[in-house]
Amino acid sequence: MNVTPDLDARFRAAALAAGLVDVRFDIVPSPVGDLFLAATSKGLCRISFTPDSAEEDVARTFGVKMLRLPLDTIRRELDEYFEGKRHTFDLALDLRVAAFNEAVLHELARVPYGRVETYGGLAAKVGRPKAARAIGTVMNRNPIPIVLPCHRIIGANGSLTGYAGGLPVKQALLDLEGATLPL
Amino acid sequence: MMQAVTSIPPFESFYCEHADPVLGYLRRLVGQQAEDVWQETFLKALRGYDRLEHGEHLRAWVFTIATRAAMDVLRGTARDDAARADVDVALLEVPDHDGFDQAAFEEIAYLTHDLPPKERAAVVLRYAYDLHYAEIAEALGSSEEAARAAASSGVRRLRRSHERDA
C-alpha cells in the first residue's frame, strides 16, 4: 500500500500552494559532489556539502516545516556556474547570522570571480584589519558556500588553509574559475 | 539533570516515515476515498507541525489525525450503500509495505467491515497497528476506557458474527 509518485507529487504541490512550507530543500548532484540546497520564501538559505546533517541543522534555524521540492532557479544558476558560463549569481538570499558575520559575508560577495583575497585582506575591508582569525571563523560557518565565495579566501602565505567541502573542492572551484594563487 | 526531549524531526523525515503506513490504514478504513483523506491528513499534520512541543508519539499523533478525518468520511457515507461496497472491495487488497502484521491484516480486513466506525478504528489500531489504548483513545477523541471498550466490543461483535457464520 505504497504512496505512488503521483500521489506524493500532488501532496507536495498542495502543501506548497497552501503556503504551509517554511523551507524547501533538495539534494542535487554537482561536479564537486552532492549538494544540499535549501530556500525560504525570502531566498536561498543554505548550501551544504554534507546533505546528511544539513537537513536537521537547517530545521533548527529556519523551522521544521521542511519539504523536499525542486529548486529550479537555484539549481540552474549553479549548473551554469559549474559549466563556467556564470560568473555572478542573481539569487535572493536569506541570511540569519549575527551582524558581524553578515557584514563579512556581504564583503565576501564582492570578491570577484577568478580572484582570491586573504583573510587579513577581507578583515581590512570590513574595517577590522586585525580580525583575520574571526574572518576565518565566519568563512568556516558560511551558510551558503559557492554562492558566497569563501573558496576565494586564502591564507596570507598563499595556502588554501581550509574549506567546509574539503580542500580538493576549494582547489577545484578555484581551478574552474581560472584563479591563480599568488606564490 | 534534565531529561533530553526528543527533538522534532524535519517534516520531510516525518512524512517519509509515516506516508505509507497511514495510506494503508486509511485504505482499510475508507477504501477508495483513502487518497483524499490521506492528503487531508498530511496537510493537517504540516499545518500544525511547528506547534508540536516535542518529537515523541508522532506515529500516534498522525494516526489520530488520520482516524478523525476517516471517521468524518465514514459517518458521511455510512448510509450510502454504493460507497460501502467500495470500502469492502478495497479491504480485500493486500498491503505490500514493511512493518505490518500480514496475518492480522487478513483477519481484520475480512472481519471488520460490518463494525460501527469507532469500533472498527479501535480494532484496526489495536490489532493491526499495535497502538496502545492511550494512543487509540487520543485517535478516537475519547477516554482510554472508552477506547478499550470500543475495541473489546468490536472483538465481541466479530466473535458473535464468526460463530453465527460457522
Domain CATH code at residue A45: 3.30.160
Put simply, the answer to whether A1 touches B93 (Cβ < 8 Å) is: yes
Per-residue pLDDT, B73: 83
In Å, how far are A19, A27, B32, B73, B129 from B43, measured between CA atoms? 10, 23, 19, 17, 22
What is the 8-class DSSP label of residue A68? E
pLDDT in tens, B56-101: 889 989 998 999 898 888 777 544 444 444 443 333 333 444 445 5
User: What is the least distance, in Å, from the CA of A154 to any CA of chain B?
Assistant: 35
A91 assigned to some structural domain: no
Q: Are A48 and A25 in contact (CB under 8 A)?
A: no
Put simply, the answer to whether A66 touches B12 (Cβ < 8 Å) is: yes
A87 assigned to some structural domain: no
Indicate the residue type of A173.
Answer: L
User: Residue A60's closest chain B neighbor by CA?
Assistant: B10
Map out the domains of chain B with their CATH numbers.
Answer: 11-165 (1.20.140)
Per-residue pLDDT, A101: 96
Put simply, the answer to whether A14 touches B43 (Cβ < 8 Å) is: yes
> Which residue out of A23, A78, A150, A154 is catalytically annotated?
A150
d(CA B10, CA B8): 7
Q: Are A169 and A32 in contact (CB under 8 A)?
A: yes
Per-residue pLDDT, B15: 98
Return the bridge partners of A28, or none.
Answer: A35
Q: Which long-range contacts (CB under 8 A, 24 or more apart) does A56-63 make?
A: A56/B7, A56/B9, A56/B10, A58/A23, A58/A25, A58/B10, A59/A23, A59/B8, A59/B9, A59/B10, A61/A96, A62/A22, A62/A23, A62/A38, A62/A94, A62/A96, A63/A22, A63/A23, A63/B50
**Which residues of A fall within a CB distance of 8 Å from B12?**
25, 55, 66-68
User: Residue A62's closest chain B neighbor by CA?
Assistant: B10
A60 and A117 in a single domain? The answer is no
ipTM for this prediction: 0.90
CATH number of the domain encompassing residue A166? 1.10.10.10
Indicate the residue type of B145.
Answer: E
Residue B103 has pLDDT above 80, yes or no: no
Per-residue pLDDT, B46: 97
Counting one residue from chain A and one from chain B, the pairs whose CB atoms sit within 8 A come to: 69
Cell for A39? 530556500
Q: Which domain holds residue A15?
A: 5-82
A41 and A73 in a single domain? The answer is yes
**Residue A30: strand, helix, or coil:** coil
d(CA B154, CA B143): 16
Put simply, the answer to whether B24 touches A64 (Cβ < 8 Å) is: no
Interface test with A, best of B5, B7, B8, B11 (most A CBs within 10 A): B11
Cβ burial of B116 (10 Å; 0-12, 13-18, 19+) is middle
Of residues B121 and A85, more confidently modeled: A85
d(CA B139, CA B132): 11
Per-residue pLDDT, B105: 58
A112 and A156 in a single domain? The answer is yes
**Which residues of B fall within a CB distance of 8 Å from A3?**
19-20, 23, 38
A183 assigned to some structural domain: no
Per-residue pLDDT, B106: 57
Confidence of residue B166 (pLDDT cuts 50, 70, 90): low
A181 assigned to some structural domain: no
**Residue A27: strand, helix, or coil:** strand
Cell for B58? 508522532
User: What is the least distance, in Å, from the CA of A58 to any CA of chain B?
Assistant: 9
d(CA B88, CA B133): 26
Interface test with A, best of B30, B46, B97, B108 (most A CBs within 10 A): B46
The number of domains in chain A is 2
Per-residue pLDDT, B136: 86
Residue B94's nearest CA partner among A1, A148, A2 is A1
User: Residue A18's closest chain B neighbor by CA?
Assistant: B43
Nearest to A20 among B19, B27, B43 (CB): B43
Q: Mean pLDDT score of chain B, rounded to an integer?
A: 78
Put simply, the answer to whether B11 touches A14 (Cβ < 8 Å) is: no
Q: Are A117 and A153 in contact (CB under 8 A)?
A: yes
Catalytic status, residue A45: no
A182 assigned to some structural domain: no
Nearest to B27 among A1, A14, A56 (CB): A1
pLDDT tens by residue, chain A, 183 residues? 689 999 999 999 999 999 999 999 999 999 999 999 999 999 999 999 999 899 999 999 999 999 999 999 999 999 999 999 999 999 999 999 999 999 999 999 999 999 999 999 999 999 999 999 999 999 999 999 999 999 999 998 889 998 989 999 999 999 999 998 765
Nearest to B46 among A20, A25, A59 (CB): A20
A158 assigned to some structural domain: yes
